[in-house]
A and B are shown apart, each in its own frame.
Chain A
Amino acid sequence: MESYQAQIPGSEVTFEMIAIPGGQFEQGSSHSDGNADEQPVVRVEVPAFWMGKHEVTWAEYKQFMKLCSIFEKFDDREIRQVTDENEIDAISAPSKLYDPSFTFQAGEEPDQPAVSMSQFAAKQYTKWLSLLTGDFYRLPTESEWEYACRAGTTTAYYFGDDPDLIDEYAWTDDNAEYETHPVGQKLPNAWGLYDMHGNAAEWVLDEYRPGWYASLPTRLCTTEETLCWPSKLYPRVLRGGSMYVLPADCRSASRRASNDEDLRSYDPNTPKSPWWFASDEAIDIGFRIVRPLETPSREEQEKYWQADVPSITSDVNRRIDQEGRGERGLVDPELPQAISSLRDSSGAKAKSP
């Protein structure tokens, strides 16, 4: 198992995946500075996986964001239509960002982390990337995230216990000026992962429950056992501090609960966007992808990608079918070819002199 670099098919954009060896660790905090929701510590056996060296960047995410208008054009030409039979290979692409003044407040440089997406949109991104590349990508579980962040350490941060050293390692409320910064500028952890203690907060798969660790067995657990599958829209877990978060809450064990309703409060329409948060309080929310070494069955994969509560599905359907915002489309290895024929058939692309 080796770290690797991959290209998003149909683009020049690349991303790096770091090999994370399997192992056991203690999840949570036994330190006095730990919060109640990080206790008691849980012993977890984590199988090997790859994890994104960086948070997903705008360069990567914009490849996904482009799909909405592409799927609209397929629809206009009645090609690659989504049917009941092929729906399993379809994703819902996020609506075009109409007024991104909040979303891009910190900039939209290709090497800045993509932010403001809902956890559902992040999961659809992993489905798109998987069906496009043939490799299974998904969001990390909370256990995988913390295991990868710690990289074998048991201290509060992967660089030790002293928050005063964090400026070398992370963008936090202390040094970021309320803005996200290009990924990979600070020092990585022992496994080579960057920005795990700050910059953008990162979605994981889990629902947030403050007493979750206490409800788990005291024996060695599997990551399937420790994963808290969501049963409601929010709160869900955000990991890894951020540029809005004080260093004390950027620790390896720190858990943050999302409040999706607040994050959507600047959205003028109802149902509110299932893909985007319109509030500037969301401009520190991004994600990082993982790829497990063992690829589960296709049926199993769906669980990690799809809407997990019915209200998301009904909001998606209503936004797309009644409001014409967002679009569904098929994703397969032929998609890049179909996109470039679309470009060819619409005439030579205008070039500036």
Chain B
Amino acid sequence: MTELNPAQASSRRTFLQNTAVTAATISTLGFPQAVHAAESDTLRVGLVGCGGRGTAAAIDALSADPQTTLVAIGDTFPDRSAACLQTLSDTPEIASRVAVTEDTVFSGFDNFKKVIDSGIDVVLLATPPHFRPEHLAYAVKQGKHSFVEKPIAVDVPGVLSVQKTCEEARQKNLAVVSGLCWRYDLGVKETMKRIQDGAIGEIVSIESRYNTGTLWHRGHEPGWSDMEYQIRNWLYFTWLSGDHINEQAIHSLDKTAWLTGDTQPVQAMGIGGRQQRTDKKYGNIFDHHVVFYEYPSGVRVFFTTRQQDNCTPFVDEIVMGTKGTARILTNRIDGEKKWKYRGPKPSMYRVEHEELFKSIRDDTPINNGGYMTNSTLLAIMGRMCTYTGQDLKWDDVITNTERLGPNTYEWGSVSEGTVAIPGKTTIA
């Protein structure tokens, strides 16, 4: 092994001292699993959700910190975890720290419990978002640090549950790092900082576009039950994904939330529907949503998202201020002085894991619970407006008790939900 440089050596020492304290605290609370961290300075990682995003997150986690080992993985479907393990083993930079064995690959609906109970320190949660509140609650209950892919829920009760869990994590000194990755992008961070420092004056309004092409579909193999078909094609079912406004365009809404100080809008108006996405194979989600959000300060967010082929794509936030405009993803400011970020651009996916592990080792665990729940609520609010055709107030949203999806998970038939029709669909 190569020698540690002084900075690493010192953080290792700090880490050992800190984990000793943490372990003592935790053991009095009755979470014996967490003492693994104190036994060595290796952090043991588990992955729940073995798709492309989960696989990439595992590589990012192992690459972010040299003293990590992946010890357990889980996915509802064994073929997905097998493919994931194959990819990880084929990735030379991290393959030697993939210590998953036959006994620590889990499948079925309860795979998350088995992964979390495999003596891990950190869990990566990357399943379809419907399952996230339950997974995160169990991880925090068992004293695990978490990387939580976006979005964190598909309905209001799910978000409220995650808010509660994040508070519990804070009390237990556990990290909860969100997969809203642009918060960790150096170019976006610097652009945001300059806007906050007044580079375009006061923000008047924000035009936010997440207009893209369409995504994958994984077909319908003979022998798949409704449940299997829907989970494998989870994007297209509102109970699993929360609709594309939640599942994908949350990246944009999260940036508008960041620009408005992660506060709550007073009310919103929404228009949406599906015009290209009419085939039954596309479940019940829309293919476009337009939502206007009004903030107490008077700032308005004009948001559009579209997933249609052969239409003009455009993804960015255009921020209009009293003294100029800015484009967030382009990292560009046209104010009194023109500016474009030309600094380093390390992968934001890598950076979020570097910061997660550093915060664990420094015993200053990051907790992104505030913005990740607020931004998910913005997306759900938008969807409630576009599905119903009603202007809704924030209070109408946070008091909504509708839980999406079946109450129990088993292979067999499951309702895919109906396509909402504005003016007819009501909020439960």
Contact = CB atoms under 8 A, between A and B. Distances in A.
A99 B315 contact: yes
Contacts of A279: 345
Interface stretch (A5-13, A19-27, A263-271): A263-271
Contact of B349 (A72, A101, A268): A268
Interface stretch (B50-58, B99-107, B131-139, B222-230): B50-58
A322 B50 CA distance: 12
A153 B118 CA distance: 67
A272 B210 CA distance: 22
B347 A266 contact: yes
B321 to A, nearest CB: 21
A281 B345 CA distance: 9
B119 to A, nearest CB: 25
B87 A270 contact: yes
Nearest to A97: B213
A186 interface: no
Contact of B83 (A272, A322, A325): A322
A285 B220 CA distance: 37
Contacts of B314: 101
Contact of B87 (A95, A100, A104, A271): A271
A41 B217 CA distance: 52
A322 B80 CA distance: 8
Contacts of B313: 97, 99-101, 104
B35 interface: no
Contacts of B55: 269-271
Nearest to B281: A76
Contacts of B348: 266
B52 A311 contact: no
A101 B53 contact: no
A307 to B, nearest CB: 15
A279 B347 CA distance: 9
Interface in A19-74: 69, 72
Interface string B40-61: 0000000000011101100100
Interface string A297-324: 0000000000000010010001000111
A311 B91 CA distance: 10
A268 B346 CA distance: 13
B16 to A, nearest CB: 32
A318 B279 CA distance: 25
A269 B90 contact: no
A283 to B, nearest CB: 11
B426 to A, nearest CB: 31
B218 A101 contact: no
Contact of B213 (A98, A269, A311): A98
A98 B212 contact: yes
B84 to A, nearest CB: 9
A259 interface: no
A236 to B, nearest CB: 19
Given A69-B309, A96-B213, A268-B53, A318 B219 contact: no
Contacts of A222: none
B219 A269 contact: no
Contacts of A270: 52, 55-56, 59, 87, 91
A323 B345 contact: no
A98 B248 CA distance: 11
Interface in B179-209: 181
B203 to A, nearest CB: 21
20 contacts: A69-B214, A95-B216, A96-B213, A96-B309, A99-B210, A100-B213, A100-B315, A101-B314, A101-B316, A265-B347, A265-B349, A268-B349, A269-B51, A271-B55, A271-B87, A280-B345, A318-B87, A323-B51, A323-B52, A323-B218
